[in-house]
Amino acid sequence: ITSNVCSDFAADDNDDSSRSAEQDDDVLTAQLIDWLLDNGAYINDKLAIKQVDPSVPRGIYAIEDMEAGETVCKIPWKLILKPSAEDLAKGRERDGLSDCGTIEAVFHAITAENDDMTPYGRLLRHQPKAYTAPFWSQKAQQTTEFDELPPHGVDELIDEVKSKCNVDMDDKMYRHAAMLVKTRADYHVMVPFYDMMNHHNGLTNVAHVYNPFYYIKPDPIEQTGYEIVTTKPIKASEQLYLSYNHCKICSDYLDWFGTPEMFAHFGFVEPLPQRWLFDFARVKFDLDYKDGNDTTGEIVVNFLVPPSEKGIASLQEELTRLESFSSMHQNMDYESAGISSNEWQSLWQYYNALHDALTYAIELSKREILTEDVWKLDDNWWVQDGTLSAADVDEHLVQPTTSK
């Protein structure tokens, strides 16, 4: 996976050329924890934040065995970056308003004068810049036929910020703030410590206690803090993992938000299990190891909607198109392509994942009975895990039928 994207970009972070050794990730993280504890946060003392090797991203690990149901952290409302009280009072609908207020709050946190900058602001400022596709350089977007290879619609993420928020997206720090919000916020809240948790749908072992999106009074998060608990026993040295799309508060993302969307929003290719939804072919499937625990074993495709002959033929066309993209670019290096090595690596990681997913789906569809029934359905042919939420049908919002 793309784990080294983060650390590589940290090295590219030339905004802080005067950065001293004290500002390195471990120091910034230690300062963050001290600040949180001094200001009323609870953080379970069986945990440590670390990067165990350069090929995996920094994350939260158990350093002692933990039981299911233990509190991981409780982060007080006052330490959370969020829109102004005035904006919050207008409601928490996902109309972009909340995101705008959060981007503004993050911008101020990362650009505060030295003495006013909190350890959270410092850590966020130090995070890798522009590593998700919507924030790539223009050159990368053009050279790599941006709109063709990475998932479609990545540019919408920035367009949405530009059209809804009164922020200057040509300003480097505003762009960084926007990317931080897109990659680290839960809806309208940026929660220190909690936002260091990585994603894995096969190894999820923590959950939210409260949903920040459902606004009830008195708001439990304002009262008791942002609280996360373990959902399984976790052994010392294991990593704590959240799911960014199949979690208790993920109803907007639950059904349609798969590996391509994860790449577009968060800038990494998720490990198996992966979900792929190809609307143009009306094919939707999960890709996983046959024996979930054996990551060297056979890979299986679980079609979530019966595949059709027409759909598989479209996937084949897409695979051919991809291969012509690859034969045009694969022998180049990032310098001759004129883009950064991180953009180049990230692009090919996604290419390989997409290529593999298409190849598996085409190959393993030969074991299925193909039926054209999916083409008789309406645009919501893909809804599987939940039921459509009436208010937001156009946005393909789904609500879980069971709590996860």
Residues that bind ligand SAM (CB under 6 A): 1-3, 6, 57-59, 183-184, 195-200, 266-268, 270
| Residues forming a β-bridge with 230 | 206
Residue 51 or 111 having the CB closest to ligand SAM:
51
**Type of residue numbered 314:** S
300 beta partners: 288
Q: Of 98 and 183, which has the nearer Cβ to ligand SAM?
A: 183
State the nearest-atom distance from the C-beta of 269 to ligand SAM, in Å.
8
Q: Is residue 186 exposed (0-12), middle (13-18) or buried (19+ Cβ within 10 Å)? A: buried
Q: What are φ and ψ of residue 134, in 5° steps?
A: -65, -20
Which residue's CB is nearer to ligand SAM, number 341 or number 387?
341
The distance of closest approach from Cβ of residue 3 to ligand SAM in the complex, given in angstroms and rounded to an integer, is 5
d(CA 265, CA 270): 12
Concatenating the DSSP letter of every residue in 348-359 gives HHHHHHHHHHHH
Q: Is 82 helix (H, G, I), strand (E, B) or coil?
A: coil
Provide the 3-class DSSP secondary structure of residue 20: coil
Between residues 44 and 204, which has the closer beta carbon with respect to ligand SAM?
204
> Is 70:242 a contact under the CB 8 Å cutoff?
no
The span from the CA of 194 to the CA of 47, in Å, is 12
Minimum CB separation from ligand SAM for residue 183, in Å? 4
Measured from the CB atom, the residue of 6 and 177 that comes closer to ligand SAM is 6
Residue nearer to ligand SAM on the CB measure, 57 or 83: 57
Q: Which of 216, 248, 374 is nearest to 309 (CA)?
A: 374
Looking at beta carbons only, is 353 or 361 nearer to ligand SAM?
A: 353
Q: Tell me the one-letter amino acid at 267.
A: G
Q: How far is the CB of 264 from ligand SAM (least distance, A)?
A: 11
Tokens found for residue 84 = 């102004």
Q: Which is nearer to ligand SAM, 82 or 199 (CB)?
A: 199
- Minimum Å distance from CB 248 to ligand SAM? 16
- Contacts of residue 253, defined as CB under 8 A and 6 or more positions apart, other chains included, come to 244, 245, 246, 261
Minimum Å gap between C-beta 111 and ligand SAM is: 20
d(CA 134, CA 137): 9
| Burial class, 384, CB count within 10 angstroms (exposed 0-12 / middle 13-18 / buried 19+) | middle
Q: Smallest distance, Å, CB 219 to ligand SAM?
A: 22
Nearer to ligand SAM, 151 or 306 (CB): 151
Residue 364 CB, shortest distance to ligand SAM, in Å, is: 24
Closest CA to 73 of 199, 208, 201: 208
121-149 core/surface letters (b: 16 or more CB in 10 A; e: else): bbbbbbbbbbbbbbbbeeebbebbebeeb
Closest separation between CB of residue 199 and ligand SAM, Å?
A: 4
Position with the least CB separation from ligand SAM: 198
